[in-house]
Structures are given as C-alpha cells and as structure tokens.
Amino acid sequence: MGCIAFFCACKKKIMSATTLSWPPSREHFVQYMKEALKLSDKEHVSALVFCDNPTTIIFDPIEQLVRCESQSGTAEFEGRTVKIIIGKED
C-alpha cells in the first residue's frame, strides 16, 4: 500500500475542537489516549494528533517523519498500551 493510501486508511475524525492549545495539557493527552483506545482494537496503540487539526487522529504514524515540535505521552490501561504524539502544527 502506498504512503498516501496508508495515511488515508489510518486516520479517523474525532472530537469537535477546531484548535488545540500549545503546549498540550495533561487532560488533552488523557482525552486522546482514551479516544485512541476506544477507536482501535490493537493491544499497543500509537497515534498522532496536530494542534491545528485536532479532530483528526492518525494511527500508527511514522514518528521519524513528524517534522514539527511535538510532545508525547504513554500510558497502560487494562493490559493495553497507548502512545499519543501531539504535534504543534500540521
């Protein structure tokens, strides 16, 4: 599957905010972690969200290709792990 097709297949619309403040708060990380776990059935979930487009979550991002300032958080819940990366700009 090509990069563009892979990207489109792995993103989902969530939340209703139009922007996300920088730097993101702990509450933002918790909110996106819960949403990612809800939307994915994988045991280990990794997702990317950008502050200027927070209604889209990108699953299984290639972290080395994130070319903006970013922060990440990891948590474990009921035997599953979730990593959220929040990028400053898309």
pLDDT, tens digit (0-9, with 9 covering 90-100), for 41-75: 999 999 999 999 999 999 999 988 888 999 999 99
User: Residue 54's domain spans which residues?
Assistant: 3-87
Longest CA–CA span in the chain (Å) reads: 35
Across the chain, mean pLDDT equals 83
72 and 58 Cβ atoms separated by less than 8 Å: no
Q: What whole-number distance in Å separates Cα of residue 19 and Cα of residue 62?
A: 23
Statement: residue 27 has pLDDT above 70: yes
Number of domains making up the chain: 1
Taking each continuous run of H as one helix and of E as one strand, the counts in the chain are 2, 5
